[in-house]
Chains A and B, each alone.
Chain A
């Protein structure tokens, strides 16, 4: 469509009707809005081709025998439920699922949220320079690219690193307590996000309500538990869901630090999927493991959308 016909089109639709001048979103009754479709087309085509399409394709690939190299790299075919049956009997998969659950529960749902909340509360009451300084450090930790965060935590926790220097040992903490260290690293690199979200939520708690609580002689803890927390609940729920999704996507941090090891100690699902696909060349099994992550992410994303619709979108 040429620019001229677009112009006519817009005039007919926007300039023509008086509803469009005032209505928040006008509905034109005279058929399909060609300009709108053309404007939306690049985004929709890209999202279908390189986002939604691949996810759907992964579900098909998971049920084939495709591999990275060898004869089945080119001549692969649908194998039905063979991979699924393998998955059901794969001890490493169940262990990986368990580790993923622990990682998300300990570091994202509990760790990041609590640390973010403590920081948001402290920062609200602290003196100005300390507030700015600590706020900046925590936000920088969040902004750092994953590779840098992983490098810093590797150097921090490996044998001879900062942690062994501080504790006066020569212990390789990353090797001795891999799960604890990656959970701490994830908390370190995500708490800034949580702090910003929860600090914004805290500012929205009406001060009159807290003042009323104080008048009644309630203790700080009681005010926090029975006034602040309930008012903050939607923000906290949204925060937990977002942080969980962020942590589930935090493949790089853990892969760079431990590559899933030692043994399978930190082998969360995204790492297991990557290694099956690109190190053991089993693309199809890697895709199937990816499908499990899709399903987990979908559950959290569903609740996230629901929470956002209620509190934010109000559609």
Chain B
């Protein structure tokens, strides 16, 4: 079982009781070591985050770490104009990618779970294999094909990013559908429901946690995508959040405060989605590969 929920570090009850039962001086000492070491590592992980937090509210922000002369003007700057446009573009791109991988993933995942498909085990192995292939290696041929058919825009890039999430989405959704009792579908059949009605009204609601996980995975994947939009989007009006930040880092007059504030505004949705995904459905999915539970 590899449930990767954020809050799943709780030790079992009996482990806690064992801990209470005997606390020798040696154990107290080792508890100090454990907690101290963890705090130290936590501090090291926190250090790179300090700059973005301080610079985003610092009127005189630079690359340097310094106590801010407090202002919220950077956050004002980055929720309007071309910053807002970049966020909306990222959202549009992510919605398209999510729709593609979820629709194809639900239909395909259902078929893989429920219907007889020749060589379906081999197909699942192939899908698992594709989850491990980096997107970077497809970028030259995709660019060539998209350029040839005049597809270098936001929507087509969204479709491509959706397909890059599809193997993992198929895997998650197939696993989720496997867990839906067949009796439910058979009851619906008695009511003379057709197969699409069964999928939408019976299977999808019951398998929702797994499907939801696949949906959020696709969304986060497209939201964070850098290389694909960098290569496949040429129109300045269509650039996404990551390209905006990248452009700002390289520009002549670097607005450090705006970059920091915009990275926060751009990154927060991902964190929120992750928390949404991991909390109510912990155990219903696994993340980052087909480490099935």
Contacts and interface: CB of A to CB of B under 8 A. Distances in A.
Interface stretch (B77-85, B204-212, B264-272): B264-272
Interface stretch (A78-86, A89-97, A305-313): A305-313
A118 B41 contact: yes
Nearest to A76: B144
Contacts of B124: 313, 315
Interface in A23-65: 25-28, 33, 35-37, 39-40, 42-44, 46-47, 49-55, 57-58, 61
A72 interface: no
Nearest to A284: B140
A191 B120 CA distance: 34
Interface string B124-166: 1100111011111111111111000000000000011011101
B195 A50 contact: no
Given A47-B163, A51-B163, A33 B116 contact: yes
Interface stretch (A101-109, A141-149, A224-232): A141-149
Contacts of B1: 200, 203-204
Given A155-B51, A156-B51, A294-B133, A137 B166 contact: no
Interface in A292-310: 293-294, 297-298, 300-302, 304-305, 308-309
A40 B242 contact: no
B72 interface: no
B62 A160 contact: yes
A203 B38 CA distance: 18
Contacts of A37: 111
Interface string A103-138: 000000000000100110011111100111111111
A133 B42 contact: yes
Interface residues of A, number: 126
B41 A293 contact: no
A28 B116 contact: yes
A37 B37 CA distance: 55
A197 interface: yes
Contact of B9 (A153, A199, A201, A302): A199
Nearest to A291: B137
Given A36-B116, A122-B38, A14 B189 contact: yes
Interface in B180-213: 182-183, 185-186, 189, 192-198
A28 B120 CA distance: 14
* Chain A interface helix/strand/loop/mixed: helix
Interface in B16-38: 30-31, 34-35, 37-38
Contacts of B70: none
Contacts of A10: 189, 194-195, 198
B288 interface: yes
Given A10-B195, A197-B2, A242-B288, A162 B139 contact: no
A300 B129 CA distance: 10
Given A11-B189, A43-B170, A58 B129 contact: no
Contacts of B263: 147-148, 151-152
A197 to B, nearest CB: 6
Given A134-B42, A290-B140, A308-B291, A162 B116 contact: no
Contacts of B50: 162
Nearest to B278: A139
A158 B65 CA distance: 11
B121 to A, nearest CB: 5
Q: Which of A137, A143, A199: most chain B Cβ within 10 A?
A: A143
Nearest to B103: A42
Q: Which 9 A-B pairs have the closest CB atoms?
A: A43-B108, A36-B115, A249-B134, A301-B132, A145-B224, A134-B42, A7-B194, A39-B111, A54-B141
Interface of A: 3-4, 6-7, 9-11, 13-15, 20-21, 25-28, 33, 35-37, 39-40, 42-44, 46-47, 49-55, 57-58, 61, 66, 115, 118-119, 122-127, 130-141, 143-148, 151-156, 158-162, 165-166, 188, 191, 193, 196-197, 199-201, 203-204, 207, 220, 235, 238, 241-242, 245-246, 248-249, 251-252, 255-256, 270, 273-274, 277-278, 283, 286-287, 290-291, 293-294, 297-298, 300-302, 304-305, 308-309, 312-313, 315
17 contacts: A3-B197, A10-B195, A14-B186, A26-B116, A40-B107, A42-B103, A143-B271, A152-B263, A191-B45, A193-B4, A238-B291, A252-B226, A256-B249, A270-B136, A274-B227, A290-B140, A293-B137
Interface of B: 1-4, 6-9, 11-12, 14-15, 30-31, 34-35, 37-39, 41-42, 45-52, 55, 62-65, 100, 103-105, 107-108, 110-112, 114-117, 120-121, 124-125, 128-130, 132-145, 159-160, 162-164, 166-167, 170, 182-183, 185-186, 189, 192-198, 220, 223-224, 226-227, 231, 241-242, 245-246, 249, 259, 263, 266-267, 270-271, 274, 287-292
Given A162-B50, A193-B287, 7 more contacts: A131-B9, A141-B49, A147-B245, A235-B2, A251-B226, A278-B143, A286-B140
